[in-house]
């Protein structure tokens, strides 16, 4: 695929992902988060790297990391978007200043859930199944630096999605999780 077309395809992927997150967030009454989600992806730091490494089947940040040893786009992105667990990594002042996951506010855990569902739908396309986001989380969980309560809530929601489907899970999130 020529470089000239990659930026258009990358833009379509971003817009598709954001549309799904927006729809999920709106169903939960999280209108501001639905509108503001991932706006940094349009910044030059993230957008042009994403266009350069666009493949359509996985995050271009992974390809950038493979090519240069790190992803400047990802470092930029995770530092500006509170729905990423990596945003919430800080020093533990009580235990030798080791790095730990801080407990995320519930609204960002829910946005992270929506983000993971949208990413799965975007990259899996017609092959998407409600188990995809859960399976990805479980494969990756062992290397995350994440607060135990944040991890438990995200895993519980992803498992509910896998076992009971999107409608039941979103209804539960809206009535039980966001009402607390």
Which pLDDT tens digit goes with each residue over 83-95? 999 999 999 999 8
Instruction: Read off the pLDDT band of 57 (50, 70, 90).
Output: confident
Whether the CB-CB separation of 61 and 74 falls below 8 Å is answered with: yes
- Tens of pLDDT, residue by residue over 133-168, are 999 999 999 999 999 999 999 999 999 999 999 999
What are 100's strand-pairing partners?
90
Task: Please give the C-alpha separations between residue 13 and each of 56, 112, 124, in angstroms, as whole numbers.
Answer: 7, 18, 12
Average pLDDT over residues 110-132: 96
Closest by CA to 117, choosing from 74, 70, 67, 157, is 157
Closest by CA to 110, choosing from 10, 22, 177, is 177
In the predicted model, what is the mean pLDDT of the chain? 95
pLDDT of residue 3: 56
CA dist., res. 27 & res. 21, Å (int): 10
CA dist., res. 103 & res. 106, Å (int): 9
């Amino acid at each position: 695929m020529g470089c000239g077309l990659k930026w258009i395809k990358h833009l379509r992927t971003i817009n598709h992902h954001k549309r799904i997150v927006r729809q999920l967030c709106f169903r939960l009454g999280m209108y501001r988060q639905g509108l503001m989600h991932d706006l940094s992806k349009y910044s030059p730091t993230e957008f042009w790297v994403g266009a350069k490494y666009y493949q359509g089947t996985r995050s271009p940040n992974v390809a950038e990391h493979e090519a240069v040893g790190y992803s400047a786009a990802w470092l930029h992105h995770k530092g500006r978007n509170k729905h990423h667990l990596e945003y919430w990594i800080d020093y533990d002042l009580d235990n030798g200043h080791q790095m730990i996951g801080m407990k995320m506010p519930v609204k960002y855990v829910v946005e992270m859930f929506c983000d993971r569902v949208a990413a799965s739908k975007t990259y899996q396309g017609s092959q998407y199944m409600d188990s995809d986001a859960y399976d990805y989380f479980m494969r990756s969980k062992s290397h995350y630096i994440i607060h135990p309560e944040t991890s438990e809530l995200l895993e519980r929601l992803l498992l509910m999605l896998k076992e009971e489907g999107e409608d039941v899970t979103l209804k539960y999130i809206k009535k039980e999780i966001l009402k607390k």
